[in-house]
Amino acid sequence: MTGKDLPGVFKILEEQARNYEEPVIERQHRKRSPFRTLVSVLLSARTKDDTTGPATDRLFEVASTPQEMAALSQKRIERLIYPVGFYKTKAKHVKEMSEMLIRDFGGRVPETMEELLTFPGIGRKSANLMLGVVFGKPAICVDTHVHRITNRWGYVKTNSPAETEKALREKLPRKYWIEINRLLVIYGQNVCTPQSPRCSICKIERFCEKVGVNRDR
């Protein structure tokens, strides 16, 4: 895939995204609460959306602000978010993050990479997602889908998400930075899957070099 292919590819990806359910992070962002989105980002790590979605809904029915969340015991948070992956650690992080927001940021979610990285459980990928999706700042969130698919396309040749982020920052036009994560998460969950991607229904197959694909459907 080359740079000249990108406008057509992103147009198709946007059209195809309408056929599938949007990621849980996007659904929480619709609530217009940076705090809810931040908590959802933390809970979604290494957990599928069909588990994260109900867990976040249960949690936010009980506590939807940093003050309400900080007032809950860690055990209560654990029970509310179970069975998300690493739920005990994530419950601890949610409580600590809520306390930090109150103590250090006046209850408001900060808008810089440096400040977001001070929260437990929030790494560069999650911070970039917050910066782009919530605050509209130029940021590329590279998760497993973005890393896999852009390498599969042949658009980048990298060995890790960190390398992919660096490569995309140098190569990908800024107008695609924020949207690439949402679109490739949707496409990666439903079409361009890790194993046996569904190439027979893929609308952008003609642009893809299928790097590393040994078997498809």
The CATH number of residue 154's host domain is 1.10.1670.10
DSSP characters over the chain: --GGGHHHHHHHHHHHHTTSPPPHHHHHHTTT-HHHHHHHHHHHTTS-HHHHHHHHHHHHHH--SHHHHHTS-HHHHHHHHTTSTTHHHHHHHHHHHHHHHHHHHTT----SHHHHTTSTT--HHHHHHIIIIIT--S-----HHHHHHHHHHTS---SSHHHHHHHHHHHS-GGGHHHHHHHHHHHHHHTS-SSS--GGG-TTGGG---TT-----
pLDDT digit string, tens, across residues 175-200: 999 999 999 999 999 999 999 999 99
User: Is 165 within 8 Å of 171 (Cβ atoms)?
Assistant: no
Question: Containing domain of residue 173, as a range?
Answer: 3-21+142-207
Q: Report pLDDT for 28.
A: 63
Q: Are residues 44 and 106 in the same domain?
A: yes
Q: Are residues 43 and 84 in the same domain?
A: yes
Residue-level length of the chain: 217
- Work out whether the CA dihedral 123, 124, 127, 133 comes out positive or negative: negative
Q: Report pLDDT for 31.
A: 59
Q: Report pLDDT for 30.
A: 61
Q: Are residues 90 and 165 in the same domain?
A: no
Q: Are residues 120 and 161 in the same domain?
A: no
Q: Report pLDDT for 133.
A: 87
Whether residue 217 is contained in a domain is answered as no
User: Is 144 within 8 Å of 44 (Cβ atoms)?
Assistant: no
Q: Are residues 120 and 44 in the same domain?
A: yes
- Which two three-digit tokens encode residue 47? 């957990």
Q: Are residues 151 and 127 in the same domain?
A: no
Q: Are residues 162 and 67 in the same domain?
A: no
Q: Are residues 68 and 95 in the same domain?
A: yes
Q: Are residues 58 and 81 in the same domain?
A: yes
Q: Report pLDDT for 79.
A: 98
What domain count does the chain have? 2
Q: Using 70 as the pLDDT threshold, list the residues of the chain that sit under it.
A: 27-31
